[in-house]
Structure 1
Amino acid sequence: MCRNQRPCVISPSHGPDDNAFALSWAAVTDAAERVDGYAPLNEQATLDLAAGRRAPFLLRDGDAAVGALVLGSGELDLVVHPGFRRHGHATAALTELFGDPAYAVDAPDGLTAWAHGDHPAARALAGRFGFDAVRRLLQLELALDASSAPPASATPEGASAREKDDAIVIAAFDPDTDADAWVTLNARTFATHPEQGGITAADLADRMNEAWFDAGDFLVARVGDALVGYNWLKIEPGAAEGEIYVVGVSLEWSGHGLGRRLMTAGLERLRRRGATSATLYVEGDNVPAVRLYRSLGFTDRSVDVQYRRRTR
């Protein structure tokens, strides 16, 4: 399999159930997170690995694990251990998978790959192997101090509160009664979004089984029995940072200020839970959402770029 290139990609048959493989994998990904300041794999890649939907590979140079690669479902993720960067390992691994970029490239058309942090080296590597940037995902952050808190009257108190000026009720998500309605609303709200709009009932169940899930952190807006919006929050156990995991408003209520009210309620919930900062991800071309978040005080933290291999 090695075309006189190092490292070779190790078969997943040696893979994640092998203790030595798991230790080497953790050594690569943990080191990358410590040095870079963010996880080298996003949540969806992690969930796909756990469910067996995508395959993990290790990159080795001799006996040393120098990188990790995730492949499957039309997606590629690649990270090189910080101690082995700038030695051509990523180029060697992609050449092993795709062929020499100077000749016919046998990678599948349309393959996508995320570059977390938008590094110049990632841009150069993507261009060399026929990938174009197609999405920019912004990570924004906000310090949750008293000076940034909204007026108390603007946020719900307790699990549920009825707004005085209309029929909207903001309440905690009920897994027994709201799951199907939420999947339907989320699919409609994010119909054009390549990841969020495709979340199924099984995907929702996977997330509710995560250690961080708390139904009280999942705020939903109702008019009568109908769900019209939501703000799902995420706080990892023991973390001081909270995430605005996903915010959605039905098309019928878009432009009526419901998104701002859900954000305000979510930020207050994070404060009450002891979070000292909030983060969120938003598509760079989603102008209304970016404008809303910046008006609430969010500032830039990092940029992720998704690349897609161009059609030959």
Structure 2
Amino acid sequence: MALTVEQVLAIAKATEAYDGVAPLDEATLLTLRNRPQDVTIWGDVRGFGALVGSELSLVVLTQHRGVGLGRQLLLRAPSLPTGTTAWSHGDNPAAAALAAKQGWERTRELWVMRRPVAGLPPAPSLPEGVFVRGFEPGDEAELLRVNAAAFAHHPEQGDMTAADLAERMAEPWFDASGLVTAWEGVSTSSTTRLLAFHWTKRHSETDGEVYVVGVDPAAQGRGLGKLITLLGLHHLAASGGGTTGAGGDGVTNIHLYVEGDNTPAVCLYEGLGFTRAAADTHVQYTRR
């Protein structure tokens, strides 16, 4: 009997509870929940494989690891063309060994960086001619424009569509005030232009995330990256977000994801007190 979406999500949840890290990325989870017809699933109650577009996920329950089930799931996958990708959420030696034996190449590293809220540096003063506010309906087109420009070379983020944006804004965690936007002009004008944004995400009463920071390339060099990042951090520190812990108490810890080879971004976050442990590395493998 084929696995249901509910069974797949239950296996993923159980795996996360043991490993401390989610085995599926956000895009795969959203597709499973909202567009299950776009996911190819195989496996059984011990573990599963899932294919969304050109991204493969393999998840094996803890008690069934070490007996070759991951390899079996990989070999049972539908035809996987060159360029298919798969993430190891955590730099897992077993995943690395399987990838090497099956001809997959390590191609990307996504780092997790963390810092406590205590001791946040103050946000800089706003540059002249710039105002800041939370997201408002009608901002979508400018948000997508800046996102596409800022992440033009990013394999996932830069391709965000209006439907993708709406899907994420429909999630229970979405908080319009936590999507901090910086605009050129004055707040009473109808001819303003979005310069930068920091989309924050609150996972629990204690944990928050720098979800996305985007700066229009045409506005770079004005200190907006540091400004918008700090404004978002202070938002997380000061208030609840969405329906989770919305009692006015901020989070105590903040994390973010950054490409390991994005030196400017890593330097910015290190300058803001974020640090990284070697175990906090997500690895992408590509089929050659």
**Superposition TM-score, scaled by structure 2 size:** 0.89
Match of 1:227 among 177, 194, 197: 194
Deviation for aligned residue 1:57: 2.6
- Equivalence for 2:72: 92
Instruction: Find the aligned partners of 1:117 and 1:78 in 2 and give their Cα distance.
Output: 13
Give how far 1:123 is off: 0.7
Residue 73 (structure 1) aligned with residue 53 (structure 2)? yes
User: Which whole-Å deviations, capped at 9, do the CAs of 1:267-294 have from their partners, x for residues lacking one?
Assistant: 1111102110111100011100000001
Distance apart, 1:35 and its partner CA: 1.5
Query: How many residue pairs were aligned?
Result: 269
- Please state if 1:272 is matched with 2:238: yes
- Give the 3-state SS of the residue equivalent to 1:123 in structure 2: helix
* Residue matched to 1:286: 262
- Call closer, same or farther: CA 1:27–1:83 in 2, change over 3 Å: farther
Q: Distance in 1 between matches of 2:76 and 2:50?
A: 14
Percent sequence identity is 40
Look up the match of 1:300. 276
Distance 1:118 1:283 in 2: 14
The structural deviation recorded for 1:256 is: 2.2
1:172 aligns with 2:138: no
* Contiguous gaps of at least 5 residues in structure 1: 1-9, 17-21, 99-105, 157-162
| CA–CA distance in structure 2, aligned partners of residues 48 and 250 of structure 1 | 28
CA contact 1:133–1:307 (8 Å) conserved in 2: yes
Written as runs of structure 1 = structure 2, the 5 A alignment for 1:197-236 is 197-224=158-185, 225-236=192-203
CA distance in structure 1 between the aligned counterparts of 2:214 and 2:10, rounded to whole angstroms? 37
Distance 1:190 1:304, change over 3 A: same
Q: Name the stretch that deviates more: 77-86 or 46-55.
A: 46-55
In structure 1, what is the Cα distance between the partners aligned to 2:10 and 2:161?
32
Tell me which residue corresponds to 1:184.
Answer: 145
Deviation at 1:184, TM superposition (A): 1.2
**Deviation by residue 1:111-135 (Cα, 9 ceiling, x = unmatched):** 1101110111111111112110111
For residue 150 of structure 1, the aligned residue among 103, 121, 129 is 121
Deviations 1:153-197 (A, max 9, x none): x368xxxxxx2x4111111111x2201111111111111111000
- On the 8 A contact 1:135/1:305 being kept in 2, the answer is yes
Q: Contact 1:155/1:261 (CA < 8 Å) preserved in 2?
A: yes
Cα distance in structure 2, aligned partners of 1:171 and 1:57? 42
> What is the rounded CA distance, in whole Å, between the counterparts of 1:298 and 1:304 in structure 2?
17
The change in CA–CA distance for 1:282 and 1:122 in structure 2 (over 3 A counts) is: same
5+ residue gaps, structure 2, are 186-191, 240-249
User: Secondary structure, in 3 states, of the residue corresponding to 1:188?
Assistant: helix
Aligned residues of 1:15 and 1:56 also touching (Cα < 8 A): no
Residue 285 of structure 1 aligns to a residue whose secondary structure is: coil
- Separation in structure 2 between the aligned mates of residue 29 and residue 177 of structure 1, nearest angstrom: 36
Aligned to 1:6: none
Which residue number corresponds to residue 103 of structure 1? none
Instruction: Kindly provide the amino acid, as one letter, of the partner of residue 69 in structure 2.
Output: H
Provide the secondary structure at the position in 2 that maps to 1:299.
coil
Task: Tell me if the contact between 2:15 and 2:22 (Cα under 8 Å) persists in the aligned partners.
Answer: yes
TM superposition shift of 1:68: 2.2
* Aligned residue among 132, 136, 139 for 2:112: 139
What is the one-letter code of the residue matched to 1:177?
G
Structure 1 length-normalised TM: 0.82
Contact 1:56 1:71 in 2 (8 A): yes
Contact 2:57/2:87, CA 8 A, preserved across alignment = yes
- Shift of the 122–40 alpha-carbon distance from structure 1 to 2, 3 Å rule, reads same
2:38 aligned to 54, 70, 74, which one?
54
Match of 2:80 in 1: 107
Asked whether the 8 Å contact 2:105–2:285 carries over to 1, the reply is yes
Matched residues in 1 for 2:37 and 2:215: separation? 30
Letter in 2 for 1:205: A
- The CA RMSD measured in Å over matched residues stands at 1.7
| Structure label with greater radius of gyration | 1
